[in-house]
Amino acid sequence: MIAAAAAAALAASGRRPVPSSTVGGVKPPATLTDGVVVLRELREDDRAVVLSTMRDALVAQWLNMPRAPTDSDFDSLLRLAHNGRLTGDRFDFTVTEAGADVSLGAVIASRRHRENYEVAYLAGADGRGRGLMSRAVRLVCDWLFSAGVGRIEVRTHPDNAPSQRVAERCGFQREGLERKSIWLHGRRADAIVWSLLPGDPR
């Protein structure tokens, strides 16, 4: 699982958690909203919906989800999200609709080299096909740029057309193909790299 691998990498680095306000000048807000979607932190009461999303066939096709997600997988994700906010290395946002505080998916912003950030996103069945994820990704990108981030990246599998459409709608520019740069289901795979800069139209 992506969450477990990232948690292991953090532990191996030997870095101690520090307040996010001291890391890269980026401090996440409690919520982000455009009046249609509301983004907030992952919570314990999201457990059932998140586990259902992990089991979703389309999500499992494009992300390294456990074959049979259990409570321990959600516990690992919750810890990863909490620790990521403490260190400033990763910010997990749960996507909900205004007036209905139920998880529809997630947008994750991870700090990379040179203070760039990489955004990833996923949606369960109820969060797809209505433009909600595009709204959520735009909100996260706008927040990152307002905090002084100079470049945001997205990586998509070449065959993952829905994810590519989200990137395009949010103004990301396709830069090229990275050969065998990502792991998917235990194998290396190519990835399309997309980027967004503060001055790009979106």
The residue segments making up the domain with residue 50 are 2-11+27-151
Structural domains counted in the chain: 1
Q: Does position 7 have pLDDT exceeding 70, yes or no?
A: no
Confirm whether 92 is domain-assigned.
Answer: yes
Mean pLDDT taken over the chain: 90
Does the model's pTM come out above 0.75?
Answer: yes
Confirm whether 174 is domain-assigned.
Answer: no
Percent of all residues in the chain with a pLDDT value above 70, rounded to a whole number: 88
Long-range contacts of 10-18 (CB under 8 A, 24+ apart): 10/83, 10/87, 10/89, 15/87, 17/83, 17/86, 17/87, 18/86, 18/87, 18/88
Per-residue pLDDT band for 105 (boundaries 50, 70, 90) equals: very high
Query: In this predicted model, what pLDDT tens digit does every residue of 123-137 receive, in sequence order?
Result: 999 999 999 999 999
Query: In this predicted model, what pLDDT tens digit does every residue of 12-51 receive, in sequence order?
Result: 334 443 333 334 568 899 999 999 999 999 999 999 999 9
Amino acid 135: pLDDT: 98
Confirm whether 140 is domain-assigned.
Answer: yes
Confirm whether 136 is domain-assigned.
Answer: yes
In sequence order, what E strands does the chain have?
31-33, 37-40, 90-97, 100-111, 117-123, 152-156, 173-184, 187-196
CATH of the domain at 39: 3.40.630.30
Confirm whether 17 is domain-assigned.
Answer: no
